[in-house]
Amino acid sequence: MHRNLFLSRKKYWILVFCFLTIVYFSLFKKNQKFETKAQVIHVALASCGSSRIDETFNMIKSSVINTKSPIHFYIFTEFENQDLFKIEFKKWPRNFVKKFNFEFLEPEFPKSNDIDWKGMYAPCSAQRLFLPSIMKNVDSVLYIDSDSLVLKDLKLFWDQFKDFDEFQMIGAAWEAEQESLSYYNSSINVPFYGKKGINAGILMMNFTRMREFEFIEKLIPYAKKYTNLRWGDQCLLNIVLHFNPKIVKLIDCSWNYRLEHCRFLVSECRNAENYGIGILHGSRQVFKKTNFYDEPIFRSVYKFFNQYDFELDSKSEIHQVMTKLFLENKVTNEFCGLRKNLFLKSLQINLL
């Protein structure tokens, strides 16, 4: 009897051991799989027409230069532009091109007789609103406007998806740091998120949650109701977020650093001042245009990446190149020029 009892107990513990072993290895594999997936950063962008292609090249180049993890780019552009991208990528060093892969997707919008989705505000600007329904097999992406330059490792930005609570599905930065400087408080007559509105140029998007939330189905009726959308799809996104504030995760202004953050002293981005710029957003065509919003320092950083020397390997060399560009572009100690050291520091810290 004792012997039988001993054997029964032995079998019991063997079964328990086997069960725990199976559970452990299944969880281990699951975590391993998650980590492998998370190593690739997914970035979506839209580049329609021919006027923004050079900016898009520089956005991709700056992303890869400053990011150690592999990146997968989803490039929304017309078929006739695709060869231009392939030609440009062939000019870059092979070891550099190996750090990323890409796929082309043609612009796609809902069919509508009432709304010109493709031409809303700027060509294909509204594409970002419909990404969840097009990219059905993708869980999350960083959406980055083509007129942007990445100055920090995108992994730092990508990892912030882990900070989303159970309701959040879109990450965005304020349109302005001060209420008085937000266009939504002064010249926009539509509902907007919070007290300042958000800027849609840089977004964190959890597509899985957005599809479950039926984001696009909620958005289209607002597009028909509110027709005076000065900033196009950005206004439309603000309207949706106004009525559904729980789905928003506010991101740091250093990941959407714009002209407003250095042109007006009261609207400075403290985190960028302390830790460097993450993404430099050249909205208002500030990388190229010379008008009221002319800021030579933005053009200088843009030219740095446009003419980027892949052999640069020291902070002193970066300093020399940028100092020369500051002189060529006549960067003065006015407006954003007062923050030369911030722009220079961001490049030196993140590039090496």
pLDDT in tens, 7-54: 456 555 666 565 555 544 444 333 333 333 447 999 999 999 888 899
Confidence of residue 103 (pLDDT cuts 50, 70, 90): very high
Question: Token match 């446009």: residue?
Answer: 306
Q: Quick one: what percent of the chain has pLDDT higher than 70?
A: 84
Angle at 229 between CA 224 and CA 235, to 5 degrees: 95
Looking at 32-36, 67-71, 176-180, 333-337, which range is the least confident one?
32-36
Pairing mode, strands 148-150 and 279-281? antiparallel
Q: List the structure tokens of 166.
A: 């159970």
Q: What is the CATH number that goes with domain 40-254?
A: 3.90.550.10
Helices (H), 47-169: 53-66, 82-91, 94-97, 131-134, 154-158
Q: List the structure tokens of 131.
A: 């990404």
Question: Token match 């890869």: residue?
Answer: 64
Q: List the structure tokens of 42.
A: 């997914």
CA dihedral 123, 278, 176, 193 (to 10 degrees): 70
CA dihedral 274, 277, 283, 286 (to 10 degrees): 90
Cα 251 to chain center, whole Å?
11
CA dihedral 16, 20, 22, 26 (to 10 degrees): 160
Say what the pTM is: 0.86
Question: Token match 């050079």: residue?
Answer: 54
Helices (H), 92-243: 94-97, 131-134, 154-158, 183-186, 207-213, 215-225, 233-243
Instruction: Burial-class residue 31 by CB neighbours within 10 Å (0-12, 13-18, 19+).
Output: exposed
Task: Kindly tell me if the per-residue pLDDT of 122 is higher than 90.
Answer: no
Q: Under a CB-based contact definition with an 8 Å cutoff, are residues 299 and 215 in contact?
A: no
Q: What 3-state DSSP class applies to 7?
A: helix
Query: What phi and psi, each to the nearest 5 degrees, are found at residue 104?
Result: -95, 140
Q: List the structure tokens of 259.
A: 């002209």
Name the residue ranges covered by the structural domains of the chain.
40-254, 283-351
- Sequence length of the chain is 352
Element (H, E) at 81: none
Query: DSSP states of 177-200 as a string?
Result: SSGGG-HHHHT--S--STTT-EEE
Question: Token match 């879109």: residue?
Answer: 170
Across the chain, what does the average pLDDT equal? 86
Angle at 100 between CA 96 and CA 103, to 5 degrees: 135
Give the integer Cα–Cα distance in Å for 71 and 89: 14
User: Which residue type, as a one-letter code, is found at position 135?
Assistant: M
Looking at 17-21, 83-87, 172-176, 296-300, which range is the least confident one?
17-21
pLDDT tens digits, 231-281: 789 999 999 999 999 999 999 999 999 998 988 766 689 999 999 999 999
Interval 89-100 mean pLDDT: 94
Residue 149: strand pairing partners:
280
Element (H, E) at 46: strand 41-46
User: Which residue type, as a one-letter code, is found at position 160?
Assistant: Q
DSSP code of residue 304: H
Q: Under a CB-based contact definition with an 8 Å cutoff, are residues 248 and 215 in contact?
A: no
